[in-house]
Amino acid sequence: MTCDPRTRAYAERRRAEGKTIREIVRCLKRYIAREVFVLLTNPKPVIAGADLRTARNAAGISLATVADQLGTWATRISQLERGLRHDADLAARYQIWLDARQAA
């Protein structure tokens, strides 16, 4: 309740309703449980790193080029491609960048 802006806003709304801190924490636990349940029952699709590597190699693009374009380290890209690192945001950006290059 001290760091996340969404949580602070939620706590403020509950305080305005006249809830105590103890009740707010209880509500937050329920709120988090609902969010986790949705994520567990409807997981986001994961982009396979091996597919990214195959597409990159087929296009003749180096790891360094990808890393420069995505603003990260080549090691991080390599770990993502080999399945050693799971970063959905980076994988999505990588896929979009690859698709844009192939379309051009």
Q: Which tens digit of pLDDT belongs to each residue from 90-103?
A: 998 999 999 898 88
Amino acid 14: pLDDT: 93
Mean pLDDT calculated for residue range 63-81: 92
Q: Where are the domains of the chain?
A: 5-41, 49-103
Q: Provide φ and ψ at 85, rounded to 5°.
A: -125, 135
pTM value? Answer: 0.56
Q: Provide φ and ψ at 83, rounded to 5°.
A: 80, 15
Which position has the token pair 């806003």? 9
We find that the CATH architecture of domain 49-103 is: Orthogonal Bundle (1.10)
Q: What is the dihedral of CA 36, 37, 41, 42, to 10 degrees?
A: -50
Q: What is the pLDDT of residues 33-55, one digit of tens each?
A: 999 999 899 887 767 777 889 88
